[in-house]
Amino acid sequence: MKLRIEKNILPFLESGFRVSGCHTQALLSSSIDLKSKIPPFLMEACTTVPFGISHVESDPNRLLDCVTDPDIGLNIACSALGIKYQYKYFKTGDQSARAIKELCGLLKNGPAILGPVNMGYIPYLRNSQQFIGIDHYIVVEYFNPDTDEVTIIDPERVGSVRVKINNLIPAWAAIGLREGKGSYTIRQIIEVPDKINWKQCLSALAPELHNNIDRMQRELIDNFGIFSKTTLIKNQHRSLWIGLEFCLKTRIRRILCCCGFILKLLNRDDAIIAQLLGLAEDAILICQKLIKRLSIENAIIPSQVYELVNTEIEFGIILRKVI
């Protein structure tokens, strides 16, 4: 049964739709000005350029990941949207003193975004060890030199917490993460345009979209093809089983963001839009079918993954003709 994604999806996305990307949530949480001008679903689309899936073998958290590293995607999005920002990272994890000094200097001008951080070493998360190797993004609002504490906003439904700055170092060092360029990555929004030039934004995102689709086509057989033929047994591959379900649900939310992106920014009502929305519906239905199989079966061969990737490749090839 078709989901019938139509233009009425926009009010749904614009009325508090919670995006899945912690990097998007952190970026918006760091700037009231930014949050007031760009809906979360559009920022999610711009940061992840969600027209593409990558796969990391045997990694439960990255079985169906974004092609674009969120650390890179944040910079791409800010540049495409005309947002002025500062960005700094350190090549090695032994530069914590310099990183803290840099952070304290930036905080005089407003909140700063830290990330990617290694979620498994975040001191205020309960049982954080289960998240080792997962990238995460947080916002630092304030540093108290008298107590050596930072006040943090964590978008992962944690709220505001205070932490000793030195206790945050293991997570902020980002050792063992696939994402990011180095350790102690810091961002800060400096200025948001009075009016976003969405046409310019589309043009700026086009090269990344093209690269994503090309990469998916190159990896289709070697990565997705092999995984889609792998037998997963629920009791033996518990982490992969749970990880695949999580990745599929996240993918659905990003596809919805992508649909909103198309309807909001392409500003056309023709056969191309209908074709794109139809393919998006197909991709969501494929995800839902596989999620259902995971809920009722004890062993599966996730063949729908191959079908999903082919559908998104077709989607991207059509989309890049009009962006």
Of 147, 170, 191, which residue sits at a domain end? 191
Would you state the pLDDT for residue 314? Answer: 93
**Does residue 150 share a domain with residue 176?**
yes
Would you state the pLDDT for residue 128? Answer: 85
**Does residue 269 share a domain with residue 182?**
no
Query: CA-CA distances (angstroms) from residue 10 to 18, 80, 101, 249?
Result: 13, 22, 43, 20
Would you state the pLDDT for residue 162? Answer: 95
Q: Which residue has the tokens 């191309």?
A: 272
Q: Which domain holds residue 269?
A: 9-81+194-319
Would you state the pLDDT for residue 4? Answer: 60
First to last CA, the chain: 30
Residue 158 main-chain phi, psi, to 5 deg: -95, -35
Would you state the pLDDT for residue 157? Answer: 73
For residue 92, what is the domain's CATH number?
A: 3.90.70.10
Domain-embedded: residue 1: no
Identity (one letter) of the amino acid at 259?
Answer: C
**Does residue 182 share a domain with residue 92?**
yes
The number of domains in the chain is: 2
Would you state the pLDDT for residue 12? Answer: 87
Q: Which residue has the tokens 């659905």?
A: 252
Domain-embedded: residue 312: yes
d(CA 112, CA 104): 9
How do residues 63-91 score in pLDDT, each as one tens digit?
A: 999 889 999 999 999 999 999 999 999 99
Would you state the pLDDT for residue 92? Answer: 85
Q: State the pTM of this model.
A: 0.93
Which parts of the chain sit beneath pLDDT 50? 1
**Does residue 272 share a domain with residue 125?**
no
Would you state the pLDDT for residue 52? Answer: 79
Would you state the pLDDT for residue 93? Answer: 84
Would you state the pLDDT for residue 43? Answer: 94
Domain-embedded: residue 168: yes
**Does residue 314 share a domain with residue 182?**
no
**Does residue 214 share a domain with residue 292?**
yes
Of 191, 216, 247, which residue sits at a domain end? 191
Which structure tokens are listed for 172? 């902020």
**Does residue 124 share a domain with residue 51?**
no
Given a contact cutoff of 8 angstroms between Cβ atoms, the answer to whether 53 and 64 are in contact is yes
Of 167, 191, 215, which residue sits at a domain end? 191
Would you state the pLDDT for residue 1? Answer: 43
